[in-house]
Homo-oligomer: A and B are copies of this chain.
């Protein structure tokens, strides 16, 4: 009996070591995704936050008079969808920093809160991406049915900055989606 126990001990140790190493790997992956999400959402908020372009365009004030050249500016806070996008990315970036601290502590009770907040970030970021993309596309293409003319032919640089910001934000939100997905699947596997 004793020799049997001794023989099974190294096997148990090896198994435990594999489990511990896998758990450590999952934790490193989790922290890495959070750092990347922090960087991407911060970059998305900054790129859109500093986006500004001023152009001199001919504007007709009275139909019978010739058009007057006036400077017109494009700023992110002129459109509520872009304001929502900057705010969402700033919140997600701040939360990513906070969640890094919480995830390092690794306490089970705190991790429940992290799971819920990760999920809320997914919802918030995807809705802001949808809003910014819808308004961005409208500015790029315009729409003849509602008579909204495209503005990206005038504010080309501003539109490019918006496109970069939306792409960064989309990548950031995919990282939050991955965080929730990986955590859920790992917990599902554990519960088997």
A interface list, Cβ under 8 A from B: 63, 74, 78-81, 84, 108, 111-112, 115-116, 119, 122-124, 126-135, 137-139, 143, 145-149, 151, 173, 177, 180-181, 183-185, 187-192
Contacts and interface: CB of A to CB of B under 8 A. Distances in A.
| Secondary structure type dominating chain A contacts | helix
A177 B139 contact: no
Nearest to A176: B123
A137 B81 CA distance: 9
Contact of A187 (B127, B134, B173, B187): B187
Report, nearest first, the 3 A-B pairs whose CB atoms are least far apart: A130-B130, A127-B130, A187-B187
A151 B143 CA distance: 12
Nearest to A115: B184
A130 B119 contact: no
Contact of A188 (B115, B130, B151): B115
7 contacts: A81-B130, A116-B184, A122-B126, A127-B127, A130-B130, A146-B148, A148-B149
Contacts of A173: 123
Given A78-B143, A119-B177, 13 more contacts: A78-B145, A81-B134, A111-B188, A116-B185, A119-B122, A123-B177, A129-B130, A130-B130, A130-B132, A134-B135, A146-B148, A184-B184, A187-B188
A132 B112 CA distance: 32
Nearest to A129: B127
Contact of A180 (B146, B180, B192): B180
